[in-house]
Structures are given as structure tokens and as C-alpha cells.
Amino acid sequence: MKRIFISVMTMVLAATGSMAQDAKKDFKAGGKPVVTVFTDFRVQTTDGKTNTAFEISRAYLGYAYNFSPYFSAKAVMDVTDKNNGYQTSAYTAYIKNAFGEYSKNGLTVDFGLIGTNTFNLQESLWGKRYLLKSFQDLNGYASSADLGLGIKYQIVPELSVDAQIVNGEGYKSIQADSAVKVSVGLTYQPIKKLYVRVYGDYLKKNEAQTTFNAMVAYKDDKLTLAGEYNLQTGHNKVKDNNLSGVSFWGTYSPSKKVAIFARYDNLTSKKINGASEAWNEAKDGNLYAAGLEFFPVKGIAIAPNIQINDPSKSGAKTTTSYLVSFKYSL
């Protein structure tokens, strides 16, 4: 299967190379910097104990360049603070993206350190990565970027298919074996502004890991409503470590300067071999988030919000975080 996939991708790349010769004569090559910074102030309470912190949680720094109307490249560094500002910590930098792209006539081919197709549509529809990751990203179902090859094709205006073959380790790890992850997704828009997506992937290294996702979403200029179901078997390639969960979110924008949002997540794992607790009991539970977004000028978002983490584990304490989150981007 791997050989077939690689052969098909190679033929696609060879075929598209000849198509680029009819590029628009008036095109001018050029690029622009990629700069996005997430920062916040938070007050977090758990069992009567309070932590207060300012933090720069993440910064994306890079450059995107268009060589022609059809060929482009992008390189981005991801600088992150793993300790969320609560302890003295050094920032860690990773190369998140470094890829070339060909795009024409509904076909897009990416090669290199690419964004994965696991939850990129959900993250786009959620639109608030700076204050809270989308469900699969938050709960470790997959990495947002990986080294490999991806293809997307718009079959008809209502239906697109995407497929990838990647290392499966994510952009923060170096592949230590020959195992790869193969994924396929379908996105269907039966009517304008309505999205229906199904996705699956497979990775085997000693034990198999599989992921399934189904999402339905509606988005127009003022309203976004979405829900998704997620199932992963063999999480982190460990037998019987299965995770399932749902996420529902909505955003209403009464104007271009203001938005109101809310979200609910539930994560569940199962008991293994008669154990008294589920294998992921410490992280299972409910997440609630709500807040306001303000967009005073282009490139700046400010969001006072509240996030409540209510774990399923018996005796575990609920954590409530009050935040003012900021995003700056060029």
C-alpha cells in the first residue's frame, strides 16, 4: 500500500511539472514574512489555590514565497513555552513547516514538513487556536505538522478529497523507524456554508493506531456552529489504549469587531483488563470554554474568556482559568 501511494504521488508530481509552463505572464514572484504571536494573562484556581501569570505561549516566525502562480514554499519556526508561564522556563524552538507546494486546477500537492490534514479544517472553523487548541490537537490525537507528502483534489465544487503519507511522529520528533502514517479525508458541502467531513488514518509500529473523525459544521459571516466525534484506537501505539470524544462549539459575530463564543468537549477512555479506572482517567472529563473576542484593528484579536476543566477521575479537582488572550499577526 505504501509503495502504491508513493508511486501515485510521484506520477502526480511529474505530471504537474509540465503544466506549470503556461504560468501567467504578468505574475511577479514575491513573498512575505509570517509572524503570529499568542500571549495572555491568566488567573487559574484549583482546590482553593490560585496561580497568576503573564505568558507568551507561542510565536510563529517564518517566510512564505511564491515562485510562480502555481509553485510556492513556506518555512516557519514554532517557539513555545511548555510551562505556560507558571515556572521559570526557557522557550523551545522547532521547525514547524518547511515545504514546497504546487496548486492548480483544483489540485494541491505539498512535500516536506507539511501541515497535517487530521484537524486542519476543525482548527480553521474554530478559529481560536490562540486561546485553546482544537479537540484532537488538545488531546494528543495527532500533530499539526509532520514530514511527508500530501495531496488534495477538488473533485467537484461540492466535494474534495485529501490524502497524506507522513512519518507519524510529528514535527517535534525525528523518525526512528520505517513506520509511516497514511490518512484519507473527504469534505462535502451539500449546500454553501455547510461542511460535512470524514477522516481516517492508520499507523502501525509494533501495535496499530487508527483514528476516525466525523464533523458537521455551518459557517457564514455571522454564525459558526460545529460538532465532531473522534475515536482513536491504540493511542500512542499502545494496545487497547482507546480514546473517544466529542466537541461542540459556536461563534456569533454581531459585527466585524466583536464575537461571542462557547465550546464543550468530552474525552473518554476505557478500562483495561478489569482495572478499577480507565487508562486515561486522569485526563478524561469535560471542558467548558466561553468568552468574547474583540478585533480593534486588522491583525489583532483580544479575548477575555473562561475555561473550566472538570476531570472524570474520582476526587480530582476542577480547574477554572480566567484569561485575557491576545493574538498578533502580520
* 223: Cβ contacts below 8 Å, ≥ 6 apart: 250, 251, 252, 253
pTM of the predicted structure, to 2 decimals: 0.89
pLDDT along the chain (330 residues), means of 10: 50 48 73 96 93 92 96 96 59 94 97 96 97 96 96 97 95 81 97 97 93 98 97 93 97 97 97 88 96 97 98 91 96
Can you tell me the distance from the alpha carbon of 221 to that of 213, in angstroms, rounded to the nearest whole number? 26
The cell numbers describing 287, all together, are 471542558
Residue 14: the pLDDT is: 53
> How many angstroms separate the Cα of 255 from the Cα of each of 217, 222, 260, 279, 304?
21, 8, 10, 45, 17
**DSSP character at residue 135:** H
Report the pLDDT value the prediction gives residue 10, as an integer from 0 to 100. Answer: 55
Provide the pLDDT for residue 51.
93
Among 15, 210, 211, 192, residue whose Cα is nearest residue 102: 15
Give the CATH number of domain 32-329; options: 2.40.50.140, 2.40.160.10, 3.40.50.720, 3.40.600.10: 2.40.160.10
pLDDT of residue 98: 97
Q: Which residue has the cell 478500562?
A: 271
State residue 246 phi and psi, 5-degree precision.
Answer: -130, 155
CA distances (Å), 184 to each of 152, 153, 198, 284, in order?
10, 12, 9, 27
How big, in percent rounded to 5, are the helix, strand and coil portions of the chain? Answer: 10, 60, 30
